[in-house]
Structure 1
Amino acid sequence: MGTTEEPTVRLLTADGERVGHPGYQVTADAERLRGLYRDMVLARRVDAEGVRLQRQGELALWPSLLGQEAAQVGSARAVRDGDHVFPSYRDHAVALCRGLPPMDVFTMYRGVHHGGWHPARHDFHLYTLVIGAQTLHATGYAMGMAAEGAGGAVIVYFGDGATSQGDFNEALNFAAVYQAPVVFFCQNNQWAISAPVHRQTRAPIHRRADGFGLPGVRVDGNDVLACLAVTEAALERARRGHGPTLIEAETYRMGAHTTSDDPSRYRTSAEEDQWRRRDPIARLRTHLEREAHADAGFFAAVDADAERAALDIRAAVRGMPDPPVEHMFSHVYADAHPLVEEERAWFADYQSSFAAAERTPA
């Protein structure tokens, strides 16, 4: 559990009650609220399908976002055209909000390509599995945008564990010194695999900003409206040339770190139950019902749409042909590389030796 004495931005209580905040507001009519709810439900169902497909041997790995829907959807819906996103490896809801085809993510975790989609098509960079490395990539990209007068901003996603990496601290320093238009969005889900957040830092993560000379803010990461409001303000500040912001969204990873992890070995069911009562989707649904912004028909339709999307993904994954084995040598480098070509030729000879053996009479 993170510390509780620091002020936390909250616009929607755990009971679904809308509250005000002196520093942050958000414009959210009934239509926008329903859209945020739809985004979170779709993300949760697509994510659950990823877990199921991996368990059935259809995917090599799957890092679940369960419990972090509000942090991802709220922040992603603050991104505008001209901004650029640098994700980590479980930011599937962000990918969906940016319009990335779900199968681009699923084919990566099935291992049929090198994890590539064209970042410029959706202003959404490739998933980064090297912990914390994307913070430096994002900072450099933001510095380049500022130098070119591009006018947009960058947002980079990472977890609490990444804040222990040198890359993260170097990125904060570069961003502050050069006033780079970048927002650092930390999803503090309380666990860096099996290491609790109190083993990562003695101070709240957002307070790291103080030492580097940039503002830091902590937000209720299970409150989609607060995440939206805080990220909108930070991105607008960056676009106006006022430099970076560090956001700490306090949330919880309800599932395993990845499908190769067993969280029951290091955390208690009581802790999970405590956070389950703060479920971000249930919170917004309660608010929608209380304010009569949605009825049973709306919720049923959203669930049905999410189920259809998941079934479409299942069919597409299971029907996906294996790529030619020699494709593993493609796109390793931007240009042809003599060592890769040498390895490609060796592997081709190796494969042909089996065919030759089959043709040789016994």
Structure 2
Amino acid sequence: MYEEYIVQDSDKLRRIEEALLATYFKNYDQDFLTTETGKEDVKANVHRRYNNALKHVVPWVAKYIDLTGKTMVEIGTGTGSSTAAFAHFVKKIDGYDIDDQALAGAQVRMEVMGLNNVALHFVAPDDLVDTLKKNHPDGADIILLFAVLEHQTIQERHETIKLCWDLLNPDGVLVVSETPNLLHYTDLHTSELPFLHLLPTELYVRYANRSSRARFDKYFADTASHSPEKLETEIMRWGRGASFHDFELSLGKDHENYLVANGFEQEILTWLDVTFDEELLRHYFMVKELDVPLAFSRAVLNLIYKKSDMPPPCLSPAPEQVFIIDKYLYREQKFVIDSLNERLVAAEKQLHDILVSKRWLLGNILAGPYRKLKALFSDPAT
């Protein structure tokens, strides 16, 4: 059902690529676009993100709400990949973004794909909340935040989540997808460096040039005159990740009561399998008995909150841990084995010392006749 909408027509793909190169990628370093990394970035925007949304995210969301006839708001439309994927199934989508060049490319995508139920809107970050309130007085059935929260400032993020929840119609769903988890050990989204996203701003900026990611590695080289506030905003625009703290502060301590999908569903697992780092964080949650949904142990957050008075369905269980438990048990077993080996070596040494001692040899000689007599009288044949 979903895969039939994958765009395989080479002419359509070419037209989408040309549109994105003329809009979204227009201000990119053109030399970068000729590198393998640049070419992969183009492919991701032309078709890869669209295909992933179509094959994984759309059927995942469809398990929790019937898409037919529904109205949808997407914040952070970008070049329209996820927008186009959902447009095949819902009644109407209103997409918003702060990048007018990205929206220009998205508009061409919709035209090439023949999608006429999408309205795209440019909005300044400071105007987002008021614009959404004005444009959607009747609310929306689905609100999608696809790879967007990590690019917002903390204030923008919390205002966005609160507003989305307020705009949702009864039984509507708030979908958060492909958002990097701030609590993970490596910044897979932006710098590809371990722990960088967790560092304070000044340290982050000074260390960023260690990144192997083209364009990012030199971005903060000439920012000495920038204020800490401006640097922080620029870091967030690149993408720094979100965490359970954001949802707890925006939706309340009981936000877990509305969580109906946690990223351990099969649709997501076939796209983003569980990694060692994720199991490490999940193990920490469980050992420390933290009151945090296991959804927030995943490296990439994929969450669905449903605005309903009905009790949420049972969340999908996390897969049985493989890496951590095996390594943990190995460590425990190794400790026991090492301890037994130490005791065995000590016993062998003690036995050796006995065997070579003069006292043992003398005692063995004196006991010789006694052993012979005992053997003689205990022999049934005698």
Q: State the TM bucket, normalised to the shorter chain.
A: 0.3 to 0.5
* TM-score, scaled relative to structure 1: 0.35
Give the structure with higher Rg (CA).
2
Say which structure, 1 or 2, has more relative contact order (CA 8 Å, 6+ apart).
Answer: 1
